[in-house]
Amino acid sequence: MGEAISLAFPVVTLEGQVLLPAGALLSEQVLAEVAAAGRLVSREHVVLLAHGQIYDDLQRCLLLTPYAEIVGDRTLVDELMERMGAVRLPLPLLHALEHFRAHDFHTYRHILTVFALSTLIAEDVVPGYHARPGEVLSGPTHDFGKLCIPLAILRKSSPLTRQERLLLDHHPLAGQVLLTYYFGDHRHPAVIVARDHHERRDGSGYPRGISDLQPIVELVATCDVYDALLSPRPYRPLSFDNRTALEELTLMAEQGKLGWKSVAALVARNRKGQPTPSEVIVSRDRRGVPPAGNCYGTIVEDENRHPVAPRPTGAP
């Protein structure tokens, strides 16, 4: 697990149950205790795509540009939906998705799209992925820690204050604790992905600044950044176009933040004929232009609101 880190804020379930208070040390023992407490609760597990409007919403996501071109023909869409249809989640996590759908649609759509995208390119990046159910669960659960972030922060269109940024950066550790509880396993692949999907290979990520990332983490992290760049957000009225988003990912790979394997897999899916990642020569040219009006990463002081340096690109 590496060096233990303490929580800056509490981790609270959607029902208001405090799993861990602020200041709790996320040691092996503490997380094992959270997992044991979770196993004491009997929960129904439900097929993800059979719950509520998730199936229809996911279909609509896949019709949007560029995903319609990436996924390709109807046969591949059906195959993809069939793979995702095997996923079952504890009912409280499905209630969490309902919460996002009702109150923070950006996060809800993002979760579904990252799930679809990571499922699509998984075999290109993590051989045997679909034979390991625990890893399959990582796609649709990576951002569930945002349940612990005030909706006003998630939906804010102006720059965040330092305190608001600290709260937002709490979501990977919150996700680690929440999924530990609901899966009853602090070493579950989905728990690791929730904790580490904002880490970077050069150690520049958060919350722990580690550089040794599991392949499934890099897969979800790459899909997470890609979809975040392509999607309109409260802090960015216009999304990146597809070429510019891929160039941003290429730049992150050049800087050693993301692995080339995941980036090449995404580039390959965007090429005509969809060659294998090993056949793709990734262009280093920069012809894309990031959208105007993007205030992501800009921090303002809590009182005088003077802006300070933005965070690095690639951590939406």
Q: What are the pLDDT digits (tens) for 153-194?
A: 999 888 889 999 999 999 999 999 999 999 999 999 999 999
- The pLDDT mean for the chain works out to 86
pLDDT tops 80 at residue 283: no
Q: Report the distance separating Cα 208 and Cα 2, nearest Å.
A: 9
Residue 315 — pLDDT band, cuts 50, 70, 90?
very low
Q: Which residues of 56-74 are buried (b: 16+ CB within 10 A; e: fewer)?
A: ebbeebbeeebbeebbeee
CB-count burial class (<10 Å; 0-12, 13-18, 19+) for 44: exposed
Stretch (H or E) spanning 17: none
Stretch (H or E) spanning 296: none
142 and 119 Cβ atoms separated by less than 8 Å: no
Q: Can you give the pLDDT at residue 82? A: 87
